[in-house]
């Protein structure tokens, strides 16, 4: 059975005290939930990962990093390696978020290298992809998504997918308040599963969790999550408030 996942991407928000307070709030809000077959992940900033792990200890909350450099170590000022993440017990990393692609020039080729680094280090990747508004308007969204998947993932082995979560995030829906309709999300998720199935086989495709991301909030989460190929969400803005994040977790 595929895992359900609700992951919060905090981006460049929350200092140390705010990080701890938000985790405390989420813990309290989800304490009574059974969360069967459901993972809850939060992704604070690098500098607060250790504090977050400590605070989340003994709870249902996992802590992930928002990015990772592909090199083992070296002269890459400002960057963070897999070894560094592993040394503080981080097991999951978001790779290829559209903001990394757009503001930090992360190309498909770089993302392919990052995926290799994540997987060869025994870490798990939440791999993000999705089309821009003009690409959807020109009806190129399926081709764009297919090429993002091919370029960054198709050199991998089927076995790698045990450590990969996919996150479809149409760029036009991120932080804009505009959400893909549940039908649009389902249509793309089914396409992604089919694309993975053709390359890596049905078993891999059936078992990989595909999250939707893009202005998910308590009011729309349940409908989006009710779609058969939507296995959860990657949540930005609404993951910064404990009650909203908890309501989205409840919706799954």
| Chain residues that interact with ligand PEP, rule: CB under 6 A | 9, 169, 174-175, 213-216, 234-238
Given 62, 131, 135, 169, which residue is catalytic?
Answer: 169
Name 32's Cβ contacts closer than 8 Å, sequence gap at least 6. none
Given 97, 99, 106, 141, which residue is catalytic?
Answer: 97
CB of 83 to ligand PEP, least distance (A): 26
3-state SS, residue 125:
strand
Helix axes 141-153, 182-200, angle to 10 degrees: 40
225: tokens are: 């999550």
Residue 172 in marked binding region:
no
Burial 97-121 (b: 16+ CB within 10 A, else e): bbbbbeeeebebebbbebbebbbeb
Residue 201 in marked binding region:
no
DSSP 107: -
Nearest position to ligand PEP, beta carbon: 236
Residue 25 in marked binding region:
no
Q: Please identify, using beta-carbon distances, which residue of 62 and 200 lies nearer to ligand PEP.
A: 62
Q: Please identify, using beta-carbon distances, which residue of 101 and 193 lies nearer to ligand PEP.
A: 101
CB of 167 to ligand PEP, least distance (A): 7
97 labelled catalytic: yes
CB of 66 to ligand PEP, least distance (A): 10
Name 59's Cβ contacts closer than 8 Å, sequence gap at least 6. 23, 27
Nearest to 232 by CA among 114, 68, 62, 100: 62
Residue 236 in marked binding region:
yes
Residue 19 in contact with residue 51, Cβ under 8 Å? yes
Q: Please identify, using beta-carbon distances, which residue of 82 and 174 lies nearer to ligand PEP.
A: 174
Residue 215 in marked binding region:
yes
62 labelled catalytic: no
Query: Which residue(s) pair with 94 in the sheet?
Result: 126
Q: Please identify, using beta-carbon distances, which residue of 129 and 161 lies nearer to ligand PEP.
A: 129
CB of 195 to ligand PEP, least distance (A): 21
Residue numbers in the known binding site are 9-11, 175, 215, 236-237
Residues noted as catalytic: 97, 169
């Amino acid at each position: 059975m595929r895992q359900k996942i609700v992951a919060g991407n905090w981006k460049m928000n929350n200092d140390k005290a705010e990080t701890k307070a938000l985790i405390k709030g989420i813990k309290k809000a989800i304490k009574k939930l059974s969360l069967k077959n459901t993972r809850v992940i939060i992704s604070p900033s690098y500098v607060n990962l250790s504090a977050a792990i400590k605070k989340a200890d003994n709870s249902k909350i996992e802590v992930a990093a928002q990015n990772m450099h592909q090199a083992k170590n070296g002269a890459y000022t400002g960057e963070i390696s897999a070894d560094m993440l592993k040394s503080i017990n981080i097991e999951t990393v978001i790779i290829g978020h559209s903001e990394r692609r757009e503001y930090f020039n992360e190309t498909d080729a770089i993302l392919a290298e990052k995926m290799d680094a994540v997987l060869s280090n025994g870490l798990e990747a939440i791999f993000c992809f999705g089309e821009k508004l003009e690409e959807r308007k020109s009806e190129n969204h399926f081709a764009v998504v297919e090429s993002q998947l091919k370029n960054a993932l198709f050199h991998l082995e089927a076995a790698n997918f045990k450590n990969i979560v996919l996150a479809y995030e149409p760029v036009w829906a991120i932080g804009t308040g505009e959400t893909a309709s549940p039908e649009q999300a389902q249509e793309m998720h089914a396409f992604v599963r089919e694309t993975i199935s053709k390359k890596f086989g049905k078993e891999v495709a059936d078992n990989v969790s595909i999250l939707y991301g893009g202005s998910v909030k308590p009011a729309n989460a349940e409908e989006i999550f009710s779609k058969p190929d939507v296995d959860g969400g990657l949540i930005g803005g609404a993951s910064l408030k404990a009650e909203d994040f908890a309501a989205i977790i409840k919706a799954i």
